[in-house]
């Protein structure tokens, strides 16, 4: 599995950690708008409306017939860095991040989720990750590196449980 791709930006440590300096990196009003759209969308059960809101107000790319479950938390600072293919499922209460703020730096990285991907409930997807077409991510997984197409992954730390479509040896 390939490592995730992020771009690092150093901050002036004497002015505090990177999150303390957040509004030097992203507009306050953008965060407010994104936060309101994301929080509203978390409670909308109608997929076409939810996907329309993500596309229209957040600039996200979401394919046809993709289902984003209730309570999914999209990135509120850089949602335009999230791309989800067609006919995919994002499970309940999953968090998808395109940014991370650390002590001395912050990192940005696009998240790409392929077609017909199934992501279980309560997963966290970190910035810069790519999840290949047909992959399955087990519930509760921390996705900290790329997932190959067709792989079944899970755990924390995430590991490959199965590669390919052979389901004979896995009790789903």
Catalytic amino acids? Answer: 99
Q: Where are the beta strands (DSSP E) in the chain?
A: 7-10, 61-62, 67-68, 73-74, 82-84, 89-90, 95-96, 99-101, 105-108, 111-113, 118-119, 124-125, 130-131, 136-137, 142-143, 151-154, 159-163
């Amino acid at each position: 599995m390939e490592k995730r791709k992020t771009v690092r930006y150093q901050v002036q440590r004497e002015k505090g950690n990177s999150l303390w300096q957040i509004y030097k990196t992203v507009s306050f009003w953008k965060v407010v708008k994104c936060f309101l759209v994301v929080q509203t969308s978390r409670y909308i059960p109608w997929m076409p409306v939810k996907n329309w809101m993500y596309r229209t107000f957040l600039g996200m790319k979401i394919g046809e017939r993709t289902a984003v479950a209730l309570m999914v938390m999209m990135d509120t600072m850089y949602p335009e860095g999230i791309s989800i293919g067609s006919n995919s499922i994002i499970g309940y209460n999953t968090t998808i991040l395109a940014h991370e703020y650390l002590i001395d730096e912050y990192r940005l990285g696009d998240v790409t989720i392929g077609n017909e991907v199934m992501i279980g409930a309560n997963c966290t997807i970190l910035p810069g990750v790519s999840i290949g077409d047909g992959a399955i991510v087990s519930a509760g997984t921390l996705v900290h590196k790329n997932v190959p197409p067709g792989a079944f992954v899970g755990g924390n730390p995430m590991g490959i449980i199965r590669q390919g479509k052979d389901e004979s040896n896995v009790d789903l």
